[in-house]
Amino acid sequence: MNIHTVATQPFDDQKPGTSGLRKKVTAFQRRNYLENFVQAIFDSLEDFPGSTLVLGGDGRFYNRQAIQVILKMAAANGFAKVMVGQGGILSTPAASCLIRKYSAFGGIILSASHNPGGPDGDFGIKYNTGNGGPAPEKVTDAIYAGTKTMTAYKILEANDVSLDDLGETQLGDMTVQVVDSVADYAELMESLFDFDAIRSLIRSGTRLCIDSLHAVTGPYAKEIFEQRLGAPAGTVQNGVPLEDFGGGHPDPNLVYAHDLVEVMFGDHAPDFGAASDGDGDRNMILGQNFFVTPSDSLAMIAANATLVPGYKSGLAGIARSMPTSAAADRVAAKLGLDCYETPTGWKFFGNLMDAGKVTLCGEESFGTGSDHVREKDGLWAVLFWLNIMAARQESVEAIARAHWQEYGQNYYSRHDYEEVASEPANQLMENLRALLPTLAGQQFGSYRVDFADDFSYTDPIDGSVAMQQGIRIGFTDGSRIIFRLSGTGTAGATLRLYLESYEAQVSKQGQDPQAPWLS
């Protein structure tokens, strides 16, 4: 065996953000850049030699090259086995599923999620722990600290491993097992949802359009919807994963999933539409001429959860990220459940799920999931909606309107100011922070400020504290304005403005008439 210890210099820009390290592909292509970060991951772990690592990514440009490097470094660092998705493909929720199912030590997921791909696009890497979830901040802090003092990494000198044939090969003392990317995940979905009921919903004429935006969910969606649930061929559009996502933004929202929006808001629209993001953890749910906000989706899934076999005994609790609307809180209150408000990013839900305190989690950024894995899960949310539709025999719009009637509606919108200069963006947040003490009790038109703060969170399980997680201005009627800087951008700063207003009167409820896709 030929293990090399390669001398290297630290990089000063390897701080993991909301969801791992994200940079331009060209940044990752710098000599030793990926290697340093991977070594920092391994150095932050204890007692892993002899155990299994799960490895895969969303198929974007540089995925295959990065996997070959990581395999050789895993072998040199003492892992006994790496399970890698066929062709290097694993959706984020499928990776989480494998880590849990096969009791792996952890996993490395290669993705920049919804960011564009290709040689000029973005790349990303993150580490997930043995519970299947994104590493908590104490681990990502340790990784970051390691990158700053990195002097050498270990790598095996060996030929590349074929990623296309299922089965096992040896890499030094380590076994590489190429696994079916879809099978275990699809089986998990069948164990949670009433596939028979969804099958008969489809057979009885409910038409679906599922858009994978040329990203990772294509093979998963085809297997689940077209094979296992009997939807007609062609139900999944843009279903072939491409290294550059066909030049698009694999972001399931009304702007970037325009093919789907055209179909669902056009003549003869199908009954149900959905899209997923680059790595398959986000989802957008549409009905005929109808958009479900992600915050509403969480609340509606929670309110209907017991209609779904995997959740029929009820929920332990619900968690939502701070900028996510309070629609889910109203459902939790009615069901007598605890509802947690966490900072943005799925890593903050892990402890709550591990401790059995929550079953469902959600974010306004098109993320919904449950304790079946430890990541948000796009196709899971799609199946949840279809199962609810099958059980209630109602359309998406009817389910949403009935929900608003019962709980009231949280009108919601988010505005992103992308790639603005970092300094003024930070200054703006500073200025807002300085204003906070003066805001409480102030009246703006018919709105009165109830509280104004910079959100901080103390994890109820391990007591860790996350500060400065976004400026919240809450009004007495439940409306809110939130300002936050993104932690996933790769150029400059992105300022996010989140607006929420509560409407109890049924006559004033409905889709926002100002919404751009309706004009």
Q: Annotated catalytic sites, by residue? A: 113
| 488 touching ligand VG1, by CB under 6 A | yes
* Whether the Cβ atoms of residue 370 and residue 297 lie closer than 8 Å to each other: no
The partner in contact with residue 363, picked from Co ion, ligand VG1, none with C-beta cut-offs of 5 to 8 angstroms by kind, is ligand VG1
* CA 482 – CA 479 distance, rounded (Å): 10
* CA 130 – CA 290 distance, rounded (Å): 39
Q: Which is nearer to ligand VG1, 127 or 195 (CB)?
A: 127
Q: How far is the CB of 281 from Co ion (least distance, A)?
A: 4
C-alpha distances out from residue 382 to 286, 320, 386, Å = 10, 18, 6
Closest residue by Cα to residue 274 from 321, 247, 223, 235: 235
Q: How far is the CB of 340 from Co ion (least distance, A)?
A: 21
| 39 touching ligand VG1, by CB under 6 A | no
Q: Residue of minimal CB distance from Co ion?
A: 113
Q: Which of 18, 77, 113, 359 contacts Co ion by CB under 5 A?
A: 113
Instruction: Provide the 10 A C-beta neighbour count for residue 274.
Output: 28
Q: Which of 64, 100, 214, 282 contacts ligand VG1 by CB under 6 A?
A: 282
Q: How far is the CB of 390 from ligand VG1 (least distance, A)?
A: 27
* Whether the Cβ atoms of residue 118 and residue 71 lie closer than 8 Å to each other: no
Q: Which of 78, 309, 487, 510 contacts ligand VG1 by CB under 6 A?
A: 487
3-state secondary structure 278-335: CCCCEEEEEECCEEECHHHHHHHHHHCHHHCHHHCCCCCEEEEECCCCCHHHHHHHHH
* Whether the Cβ atoms of residue 124 and residue 110 lie closer than 8 Å to each other: yes
Per residue in 399-411, is it b (16+ CB within 10 Å) or e — as a string? bbbebbeebbbbb
Q: Which is nearer to ligand VG1, 43 or 277 (CB)?
A: 277
| 486 touching ligand VG1, by CB under 6 A | yes
The partner in contact with residue 345, picked from ligand VG1, Co ion, none with C-beta cut-offs of 5 to 8 angstroms by kind, is ligand VG1
Q: How far is the CB of 511 from Co ion (least distance, A)?
A: 25
| 19 touching ligand VG1, by CB under 6 A | yes
Query: Which two structure tokens, joined as six digits, stand for 182?
Result: 């879809």
Query: Which two structure tokens, joined as six digits, stand for 79?
Result: 């892992």
Q: How far is the CB of 20 from ligand VG1 (least distance, A)?
A: 8
C-alpha distances out from residue 260 to 213, 235, 266, 285, Å = 9, 11, 10, 11
Q: Which is nearer to ligand VG1, 206 or 488 (CB)?
A: 488
Residues composing the chain: 519
List binders of Co ion among 258-287 (CB under 5 A). Answer: 277, 279, 281-282
Q: Which is nearer to Co ion, 147 or 321 (CB)?
A: 321
Q: Which is nearer to ligand VG1, 52 or 181 (CB)?
A: 181
List binders of ligand VG1 among 97-136 (CB under 6 A). Answer: 113-114
Q: Which of 137, 223, 296, 363 contacts ligand VG1 by CB under 6 A?
A: 363
* CA 473 – CA 322 distance, rounded (Å): 12
Q: Which is nearer to Co ion, 282 or 403 (CB)?
A: 282
List binders of ligand VG1 among 395-414 (CB under 6 A). Answer: none
* CA 25 – CA 48 distance, rounded (Å): 29
Q: Which of 132, 345, 350, 470 contacts ligand VG1 by CB under 6 A?
A: 345
φ/ψ of 307, rounded to 5, equals -75, -10
Kindly give, in sequence order, each residue whose CB lies less than 8 Å from that of residue 307, ignoring residues fewer than 6 positions away.
387, 388, 391, 392
Q: How far is the CB of 324 from ligand VG1 (least distance, A)?
A: 8
Q: How far is the CB of 428 from Co ion (least distance, A)?
A: 27
Q: Which of 96, 147, 344, 410 contacts ligand VG1 by CB under 6 A?
A: 344
φ/ψ of 404, rounded to 5, equals -60, -40
* CA 121 – CA 257 distance, rounded (Å): 18
Q: How many chain residues bind Co ion (CB under 5 A)?
A: 5
State how far Cα 473 lies from the chain centre. Answer: 26
| 32 touching ligand VG1, by CB under 6 A | no
* CA 309 – CA 323 distance, rounded (Å): 30
Q: Which is nearer to ligand VG1, 79 or 185 (CB)?
A: 185
- Site stretch for ligand VG1 (CB under 6 A), options 48-56, 334-342, 363-371, 419-427: 363-371
Which residue shows structure tokens 């290297």?
8
Q: How many chain residues bind ligand VG1 (CB under 6 A)?
A: 19
Residue span 164-183 as binding mask against Co ion, x where in contact by CB under 5 A, dash where not: --------------------
Q: How far is the CB of 91 from Co ion (least distance, A)?
A: 9
Q: Which is nearer to ligand VG1, 86 or 488 (CB)?
A: 488
SS3 at position 167: strand
Q: Which of 43, 122, 226, 277 contacts ligand VG1 by CB under 6 A?
A: 277
Residues at the contact surface with ligand VG1, assessed by CB under 6 A: 18-19, 113-114, 277, 279, 281-282, 321, 344-346, 363, 365, 367, 486-488, 496
Residues at the contact surface with Co ion, assessed by CB under 5 A: 113, 277, 279, 281-282
